[in-house]
Amino acid sequence: MNLISKEKLSKMGSMEKIRMILDTVKEGKIVVLETGLTPEEEAKLIELTMLEIDHENFIGIEVESYPYREKSIFSKIFGKKQGRLTVIGPANRLKTLEKQEDLIKTLIT
């Protein structure tokens, strides 16, 4: 399992983050992001995953994030939406059991 800090993620561009996540998950590892991805980054991650699916070796990913919270009217207007803690893993190893506003229960096999 790789736990990736907010500081490391902030130094990476969107495609660099997505490629790092996808490569790590394809190795069979679980990735936990401290700050999560923007909705656009998450959509791009899913898009690239669909292109790289290989039914014998890589069947896809499972992505779970805490819901995004708006902090103020200014963040609603000008802020860049970014997910909170996000768990990403191979679809055959990570199963979401329960998701609430502040709790994600997963089973890792």
Q: Which helix (H) or strand (E) holds 88?
A: strand 86-90
Does pTM surpass 0.85? no
**pLDDT at residue number 71:** 58
**pLDDT at residue number 84:** 77
pLDDT in tens, 48-100: 999 988 878 888 999 988 766 555 555 566 555 556 789 999 998 999 888 88
Percent of the chain residues topping a pLDDT of 90: 48
CB 18 within 8 A of CB 48: yes
**pLDDT at residue number 38:** 86
Query: Strand pairing of 31-33 and 2-4?
Result: parallel
**pLDDT at residue number 67:** 67
Nearest Cα neighbor of 51 from 94, 9, 18, 87 is 18
Alpha helices by DSSP H, 6-98: 6-10, 14-26, 39-52, 73-77
Return d(Cα 10, Cα 15) in angstroms, integer: 12
- pLDDT: which is higher, 101 or 45: 45
Range of the domain at 84: 2-108
Tracing tokens 């919270």 back to the chain, one arrives at 69
**pLDDT at residue number 69:** 59
Domains of the chain: total: 1
**pLDDT at residue number 39:** 85
Q: How far is CA 71 from CA 37, 43, 54, 86, 90, in A?
A: 17, 23, 40, 19, 32
**pLDDT at residue number 58:** 85
